[in-house]
Structure 1
Amino acid sequence: MDPVEALRELGGVATFGELVACTTRAELERAIGRGHVRKPRHNRYCLADADATRQAVAATGGTASHRSAAQEFGWKLKHDPPRPCITLPRSARKPPGRFELHWADLSDRERRRNVTSRTRTVIDCARSYDFDVALSVADSALREGILDQDDLVLAAARSPRTGRARAQRVARHASRLRANPFESCLYAIAITVPGLDVRAQGHVPGVGFVDLLDRVLGIVIEAESLEHHWTKAGLQRDVDRYTSAARLGLVVLRFTWTDVMLHPDQVALAMSEVVQWRTMQAVGRHGLAA
């Protein structure tokens, strides 16, 4: 797999181990040599151009915020921001240039470090972006281990009225259990499906941990990437897992990164149809409709 595509599926930032599970060392070194992949520090690879954010901070006199701040913290994102995200003091004028601009009161610490705090970054994203984009940021922040969900819930409750409900929704659903934006976005789709009640990293005896599990309807939903499945051993592991799931009477839905990121409506439709069938089976109606 091309290292650039692998990084995109992994959320824009990855360790060496995560990358070589999808590609080869030689391909990774070629991508670095061509400038397609950057290594900003030890065991950290990314697509984002961190220099662009620093240049934007210098040009505007503002502070890196929102998705640009998330990049600075090394968090995984659904998509890299198309333009540097900068927050300016409320009294500042709009500077020339192509930036995603925001205005807010900043702390002395944030101005000094040229990046918004972790908590503010999550809440800013939750108030500004679509739910799946913001949830990817929040989940990544929790996986880092510095913030916990209580921090986010409290910060969301104290956030400005405009966008507060959006922030509170993201904080309620945020979880460190989802491994990457792929899984975060899959979860964001699943919770929109009526009748589906999923939990992240549910454990099934004889199968192991699955990405999403509805225990009542017996539905397993998996985010399938090449990271764990592109080898012969990975294929055999998949076959064993899903055969075990079938023997328990579970229905397994498997979606690719392309499905989830580019065709979310089709993913939701597939989930909805399976929910309808499992509900019919649960009340004893097994025949096809005439």
Structure 2
Amino acid sequence: MPVVQLIRLSGGTATFAELRASASGRAIRNALAAGSIQRVAKGVYALPPAEDPDAAARAQGGVVSHLSAAVLHGFDVLEAPPTTQVTVPRGQHRRASTLACALHWADDVPSLDGRTTRLRTVLDCARTLAFADSLCVADSALHQGAIQRDQLIAAAATLSGPGSAGARRVAAAADSRAESPLESVLRAVLLEAGIDSFVPQWVVQDETFSARIDLADPGRLIALEADSFAHHSTRRALRRDCRRHTNLTIRGWRLLRFSWEDVMLDSEWVVDVVLQALGPPPHQSATGLTVVRRSRRTASGV
């Protein structure tokens, strides 16, 4: 994984040891030489100061768009763009400017406060990014209530040209219940492998216990958790997780937990493990309906 992305995913800074866990020493030295990262203290690295995206867009006579607009709208992204992404009217030439940017051209650019609208931003990302990256943006926009799912599906249906099929696929898969980028990526990995039986944020509840599962296959009672270190790094968190795991187990659930490294760096293994856990089709009743036990949806539909 690129050194710049590792630092972004670490919150903007990282130690040499943290970088070396996933990148070579040569990659770190090359990133330093290229100026894409900087040493801020002995053994500590950070990204250089970011350029003003609004200024870059104004310099080109356009608007901030795509992933850059997603960041400004507050949507979750897997990786911030290395340079500001700007959309200008079709036929307009690049203007001379000291501010770096990646240009896109379009006939119609609906904008708000110097950036593409929230809906247009999600569609642009869905047309141009990999499925996991764009699903992360779309899930986040829906979860925040910035756009509505029926609105996204309807807008994607009107698209034509490059990336339109991908946009419709993202719109169909996007889910407002998703609560983290890592969870969105895990769901994208499964969907790309043809595994579509898992739903986000499933509630397991009875008289003495309640838990929300990142991704659940209720028919088979299989639970998947996308675990980030930030939420599982204390003694208290360990005790809580152990009790939660045990309580789910005695209620018939099988819990599979995946780390950030599993989901982001070894997705083939994740798919293989989930397929092994799924095994044969879920138990069917005499009427052909899937039998779901020990779980129910809340009034909000989660």
Which range, TM-score by smaller chain?
0.7 to 0.9
Unaligned stretches of 5+ residues in structure 1? 13-29, 38-46, 284-290
* SS state at 1:227 partner: helix
- The residue number in structure 2 matching 1:100 is 102
1:223 aligns with 2:226: yes
* SS state at 1:191 partner: helix
- The residue number in structure 1 matching 2:78 is 78
Q: For this pair of structures, how many residues does the alignment match?
A: 246
**Cα 1:35–1:271, aligned 2, differ >3 Å: closer, same or farther?**
closer
* SS state at 2:91 partner: coil
Superposed counterparts of 1:138-217, under 5 Å = 138-194=138-194, 197-205=197-205, 206-217=209-220
TM-score, scaled relative to structure 2:
0.72
1:263 aligns with 2:261: no
Which deviates further from its counterpart, 170-179 or 194-203?
194-203
Q: Distance in 2 between matches of 1:196 and 1:113?
A: 38
Q: Distance in 1 between matches of 2:10 and 2:273?
A: 22
Of Structure 1 and Structure 2, the greater helix share is in 1
CA shift digits 1:198-247 (9 cap, x unpaired): 00001122351100000112210001112322122211110011111221
Which deviates further from its counterpart, 95-104 or 60-69?
95-104
**Cα 1:129–1:177, aligned 2, differ >3 Å: closer, same or farther?**
same
Q: Distance in 2 between matches of 1:269 and 1:155?
A: 35
Which deviates further from its counterpart, 218-227 or 188-197?
188-197
* SS state at 2:220 partner: coil
Q: Distance in 2 between matches of 1:83 and 1:6?
A: 16
Contact 1:125 1:134 in 2 (8 A): yes
**Cα 1:246–1:9, aligned 2, differ >3 Å: closer, same or farther?**
farther
Q: Distance in 1 between matches of 2:108 and 2:49?
A: 25
Q: Distance in 2 between matches of 1:9 and 1:217?
A: 35
* SS state at 1:137 partner: helix
For CA contacts below 8 A with separation 6 or more, give which structure has more relative contact order. 1
Contact 2:54 2:63 in 1 (8 A): no
Q: Distance in 2 between matches of 1:134 and 1:48?
A: 25
Q: Distance in 1 between matches of 2:86 and 2:68?
A: 8
* SS state at 1:201 partner: strand
1:76 Cα shift?
Answer: 1.1
Contact 2:220 2:282 in 1 (8 A): no
Q: Distance in 2 between matches of 1:146 and 1:196?
A: 25
1:273 aligns with 2:276: yes
**Paired AA for residue 76 in structure 2:** K
**Cα 1:48–1:244, aligned 2, differ >3 Å: closer, same or farther?**
farther
**Cα 1:280–1:237, aligned 2, differ >3 Å: closer, same or farther?**
same
1:252 aligns with 2:275: no
State the Cα RMSD in Å: 3.0
**Cα 1:35–1:268, aligned 2, differ >3 Å: closer, same or farther?**
closer
Contact 1:9 1:182 in 2 (8 A): no
Contact 2:219 2:283 in 1 (8 A): no
* SS state at 1:266 partner: helix
Unaligned stretches of 5+ residues in structure 2? 13-39, 285-302
Contact 2:8 2:79 in 1 (8 A): no
**Paired AA for residue 102 in structure 1:** H
